[in-house]
Amino acid sequence: MPFPFGEWVILFLTLIAWAEKRTTRCFFSLLTIAWLLGKWAETYLLVNMPWRWQLSRLAVMMVFWVWAFRRAERRFLPLFFASLVAFVQTLFFVNEPGVFPFGEWFFAIAMVLVAWLSAKSFWGTAAALTGGSLLNQVFVRFTYDGIMRFANLPDDFTWNLGVGLFSTWTALAYGWRLNAEKKAKRMTQDLVVVQNLVNCESSEEKEL
């Protein structure tokens, strides 16, 4: 199994949220608890199955989808479009495996663009991408039945790309917000200084 980048990123963010007492610690705690419960079920309930359902990852994706879906403004249409792109990808790989170089990256970028253009918000895009990926896991299971004897659901590419995408997006949005707050604070301070100078000049003129 490749290095679990996604799992370590979630654990790292959870520890930071609790260490800095951020409001997001409840959200990351839910993700961590979902992963632990899914890992327990994956270890003790699913043994020697031809299809490896990675319940720890699926549990995290389910919790994240519910969280995002409740906060999304546009819910069903972005989910439909994102799922459609994922289904097309699965059918393409079944019928023409290995023909299209970098096919996973092409369909991943297409899915992100479709979700963003139809949702126009972070949580809407997150709900569409996560929900589409979850539906696609079931579609993959039945589409590849009789073709493949073993597969990870979800695969490492889908999992790590999803965690990396939303972590990077959140970090950039947080940095942008901090920069905007610093600029607003600097402008406020400059206005206060200018106002004080104007008041001082007015007082001096009155005294003269």
The pLDDT profile of the chain, 208 residues, written as one tens digit per residue, is 556 777 888 888 888 888 877 778 889 899 999 999 998 988 877 655 667 788 899 999 999 999 999 999 888 999 999 999 999 988 888 877 666 677 889 999 999 999 999 998 999 999 999 999 999 988 888 887 767 666 778 888 889 899 989 888 888 887 887 777 777 777 776 565 556 555 565 555 555 5
Q: Which residues contact 62 (CB under 8 A, 6 or more apart)?
A: 34, 134
pTM above 0.85, yes or no: no
Amino acid at 113: L
Whether residue 193 is contained in a domain is answered as: no
Whether residue 134 is contained in a domain is answered as: yes
Concatenate the DSSP letters of all residues of 22-72 into one string: -TTHHHHHHHHHHHHHHHHHHHHT--S-SEEE-HHHHHHHHHHHHHHHHH-
Whether residue 133 is contained in a domain is answered as: yes
Whether residue 166 is contained in a domain is answered as: yes
Whether residue 145 is contained in a domain is answered as: yes
Whether residue 200 is contained in a domain is answered as: no
Whether residue 198 is contained in a domain is answered as: no
Whether residue 94 is contained in a domain is answered as: yes
As a whole number of Å, the CA-based R_g of the chain is 24
Q: For the chain, what is the domain count?
A: 1
Peptide bond into 97 cis (omega under 30): no
Show the domain range for 13. Answer: 5-177
